[in-house]
Copies of this chain bind each other. A is one copy, B any other.
């Protein structure tokens, strides 16, 4: 995963025993040598082999011979060739690629092909020709709203490399925190970060870490809005007098840089110059989203400036600001990238638009000659299921109607992980495994759209991500233990496996107290997964039942699930008195028990054990309607399946398959 562009199975398999070895041949590339060492380390971890097993050797005796034609660019470039071909036979394997990027993708593919057989560990014989559909396949992580330590980013980079992603977009500043050490303007981090920022040394080390894995690092410094944290140390940049304090709430705030003062551009010139030295990537992201214009409207000097320049509104003022910033970015040898709002005529063609609005925006940009990256539909923090992200194609909608030349300006996509509700503890579970579905959308051929196969591949990938250190699974149990206040979490887990956090932006709307960056993220809504596997499995069982394909075992299984759900409430009630974090969970638990009882009754009626009482169906539907409402900011995901059971159970007996 992602599925290769072309592949062909062949007979037999290549055994991986302690004598397995690889050779890195062709052009010299030290980074590929190190990737070879990492590959052997991964292979050892997968097989339980030890450091003295496996080796790097020469092309003659190696079981896997990797050959590249030329070294890759020292600073990874957008659009470098990432293709590879991999041929595995029972006697050995060869991996050919133009450069190390493709070779590393091929090594990841080889690792994913490893499986256990009756003869030993093995990779099936096959032939793969693979290359990405889009050259820009990214993940953005917001480290401002909640600080995300370097080691968390590092494990996520490992996982990104495993699914062939190639851009890490680092959202480094926002109203809630400025996360980079500036040596030119140390007040930025000293006053704007609560001490939670990355040193330049840490940043260099993370960029190198990403680079070793074939991942570019694009920094974002959001401006002119989303800048409160800058103003704590530098109020002179703002459009209203200070003092400012770090924003603790979420939302869109008034503070914005002052586009009417030359000192703003002087500051940005020095700052962007410093950052362009720190971040070697060609692209420099200047944000540009969600400026509400209130500070500008309230500032007489700014209004006078606008009048003097014939600027009519705040959009026009932002366009002026962005034009100036683009020139600064360009002066420091970088290409500007920004959100939809920066779109205007007059930029160099090289500018890239990242769209949180959708393919129409990208199409519009492409028509103006700009390149674009899609993020709308890939917001991981909105808690949508993988299939939904999977269905979003950068080339769909408005983009589909573009000319071929215009379409080529659509570079790919980028998932966004905004961190209002993400902490180092739960962020992995918000990114993975759903990120892999987006990675596949951006790598694999357009017609790779089978959702069932997607979920199967995601399930296979899951333990591999865990081995790379991703905590999407491993952080779940400790969080549940904390909520239960007990090491025995079986009842809570039954419930937790069935709930999902509320979707889109309803977490704000349903919040019991106003959320801030100071509130602990230790509730069930913070532990619950974005997408319930149990609910999906149960829905499949109910599908089979409705279709008349459920045998006695399947019916028993439906009953077992329902019984477990009915019983969890009484078990939880017994411990609730001791664990304050369960208080808000109990109503949810009771609701689940209630509708599960209804589901069991439906099974009884369905199997003709009892006649259906007159008012039963409407009672059940009322319960289900109640259960559908968010509680503790969580959704009970089995409501639709149980509703189907109720419908089925209350059908007149004659029309029903037994």
- How many copies of the polypeptide does the oligomer hold? 2
Give A448-470 as 1s and 0s: 1 = Cβ < 8 Å from B's Cβ atoms: 00000000000110110011000
Q: Do B482 and A117 touch across chains, with their CB atoms under 8 A apart?
A: no
Given known A50-B521, A478-B467, A518-B50, contact A485–B116 (CB-CB < 8 A): yes
A-side interface mostly: loop
Which B residues lie within 8 Å of A378 (CB)?
none
- The 8 Å CB contact of A425, one of B48, B118, B194, is B48
* Stretch of A180-188, A300-308, A563-571, A572-580 on the interface side: A572-580
Asked whether A423 is an interface residue with its Cβ less than 8 Å from the other chain, the reply is yes
Decide if A49 is an interface residue (CB 8 Å cutoff): yes
B485 and A463 within 8 A (CB): no
A522/B478 contact (C-beta < 8 A), A117-B580, A118-B578, A578-B118 known: no
Using A518-B52, A520-B47 as known contacts, say yes or no to A120 and B580 having CB atoms under 8 A apart: yes
- Cα distance, A324 to B526, chains bound together (Å): 64
Q: Does A379 contact B (CB under 8 A)?
A: no
The answer for the CA separation of A526 and B526 in the assembled complex, in Å, is 36
Digitize A184-197: 1 where CB-to-B-CB distance is under 8 Å, 0 elsewhere. Answer: 00000000001010
Q: Does A46 contact B (CB under 8 A)?
A: yes
In the complex, A517 has a CB within 8 A of chain B = yes
- A117 vs B526: C-alpha distance in the bound complex, in angstroms? 20
Q: Taking the complex as formed, is A487 at the interface, i.e. its CB lies under 8 A from any CB of chain B?
A: yes
Q: CB within 8 A of A463: which of B18, B194, B487?
A: B487
A474 at the interface (CB under 8 A from B): yes
Q: 29 A-B Cβ contacts within 8 A? A: A18-B520, A45-B425, A46-B482, A47-B482, A47-B520, A47-B522, A48-B423, A48-B479, A48-B482, A48-B520, A48-B526, A50-B146, A50-B519, A50-B520, A51-B147, A52-B194, A52-B517, A52-B518, A116-B578, A116-B580, A116-B581, A117-B579, A117-B580, A118-B577, A118-B578, A118-B580, A459-B487, A462-B487, A463-B478
List the 3 closest A-B pairs by CB distance, nearest first.
A48-B522, A116-B485, A49-B520
Chain A contacts to B: CB under 8 angstroms: 18, 45-53, 115-120, 146-147, 194, 196, 423, 425, 459-460, 462-463, 466-467, 474, 478-479, 481-482, 484-487, 517-522, 526, 577-581
